[in-house]
């Protein structure tokens, strides 16, 4: 699994599992550091490097376990892990590269956003720590640290690019979610407008129907009043028709 995929899963993890994932990343980095230190590097070619002892184990832990707290201070975690690697190189421990700072740098690049932008200070810090690591390795070896420059330089550059790719992917996903949210809001607004228009149409229809029925009631009532003495039977029939029309109008309005 690539660094980009791992970082993406870390950012997408639920709050309840984030600590476990961060601890797992730190544990893997620590185990990798111990393996490299005990082996003398990726491809050990230099004799006289310090043997792994308690001090080396403690420094290896210092270069890996701070990764657990990367969500609180990505830059601070990177500085601590890289500083521990510098001390390891200065004391003569040969590892060629340390997994802890690589993971911390990747997460640092991936975690930046508009609120925590990558500034010149961040770039100077990363380059300065790399230079300090190479200088410490050169002092301990008494020669130019070509192996450390190759492996650590490539690893740090790869970690930075992986973090950048993760950040861009996260921003794209956030943008897609925002668009989907806006689309849902627009659809809901259109639905509410359609409902309001339908209610207005029904209200107009009811108003027209009720107005027509009331007009008929008024006409028939007036006619019945004029004919109540001339034709009592028809007068009663007219009143019944008025009553039926009134009931129908009320039922139609209730619907």
- pLDDT tens for 19-43 read 888 889 999 999 999 988 888 777 6
pLDDT of the residue at 229 = 58
Is residue 252 over pLDDT 70? Answer: no
For residue 26, give the nearest of 67, 63, 78 by alpha carbon: 67
Q: What's the pLDDT at 65? A: 95
- For residues 32 and 111, membership in a common domain is answered with yes
pLDDT of residue 186: 81
Per the model's pLDDT, the better-predicted residue between 150 and 208 turns out to be: 150
Q: Which of 153, 182, 211 is the last residue of a domain?
A: 182
Instruction: Enumerate helices (H) and strands (E) in the chain, giving the number of each.
Output: 8, 0
At 162-178, the pLDDT tens digits run 888 888 887 788 788 88
Query: Contact 93/50 with Cβ under 8 angstroms?
Result: yes
Q: Are both 151 and 52 inside the same structural domain?
A: yes
pLDDT tens digits, one per residue of 72-89: 889 999 999 999 999 998
Q: Residue 247 half-sphere exposure, CB side, CA atoms within 13 Å? A: 6
230/218 same-domain check: yes
Structure tokens at 230: 């001339």
Say yes or no: 191 and 143 in one domain.
no
66 and 29 in a common domain: yes
Q: Are residues 36 and 124 in the same domain?
A: yes
Q: What is the mean pLDDT of the chain?
A: 78
CB atoms inside a 10 Å sphere around CB 143: 9
- The reply to whether 95 and 210 lie within a common domain is no
Query: In this structure, are 130 and 225 located in the same domain?
Result: no
Q: Who wins on pLDDT, 215 or 86?
A: 86
For the chain, the domain total comes to 2
The rounded distance, in Å, linking the Cα atoms of 144 and 159 is 24
**Which H helix or E strand runs over 113?**
none
**Same domain membership, residue 235 and residue 110:** no
Write the DSSP symbol of residue 49: P
Task: Please report, for the domain that includes residue 210, its CATH number.
Answer: 1.20.5
The reported pLDDT for the residue numbered 38 is 85
**Residues whose CB falls within 8 Å of the CB of residue 163, separated by 6 or more in sequence, listed in order:** 3, 7, 105, 106, 107, 108, 109, 110, 111
Question: What range does the domain containing 222 cover?
Answer: 185-254
């Amino acid at each position: 699994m690539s660094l980009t995929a791992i970082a993406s899963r870390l950012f997408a993890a639920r709050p309840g599992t984030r600590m476990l994932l961060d601890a797992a990343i730190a544990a893997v980095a620590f185990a990798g550091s111990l393996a490299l230190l005990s082996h003398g590097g990726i491809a050990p070619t230099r004799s006289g490097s310090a043997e792994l002892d308690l001090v080396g184990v403690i420094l290896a832990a210092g270069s890996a376990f701070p990764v657990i707290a990367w969500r609180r201070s990505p830059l601070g975690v990177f500085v601590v892990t890289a500083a521990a690697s510098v001390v390891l190189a200065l004391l003569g421990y040969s590892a060629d590269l340390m997994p802890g700072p690589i993971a911390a740098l990747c997460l640092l690049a991936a975690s930046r956003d508009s609120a925590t932008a990558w500034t010149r200070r961040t770039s100077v810090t990363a380059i300065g720590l790399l230079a300090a690591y190479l200088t410490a390795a050169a002092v301990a070896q008494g020669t130019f640290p070509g192996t450390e420059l190759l492996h650590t330089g490539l690893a740090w550059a790869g970690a930075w690019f992986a973090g950048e790719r993760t950040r861009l992917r996260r921003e794209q996903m956030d943008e897609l979610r925002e668009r989907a949210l806006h689309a849902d809001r627009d659809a809901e607004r259109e639905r509410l407008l359609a409902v309001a228009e339908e209610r207005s149409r029904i209200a107009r229809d009811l108003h027209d129907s009720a107005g027509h029925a009331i007009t008929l009631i008024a006409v028939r009532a007036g006619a019945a009043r004029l004919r109540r003495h001339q034709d009592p039977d028809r007068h009663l029939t007219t009143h019944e028709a008025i009553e039926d029309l009134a009931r129908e109008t009320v039922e139609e309005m209730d619907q």
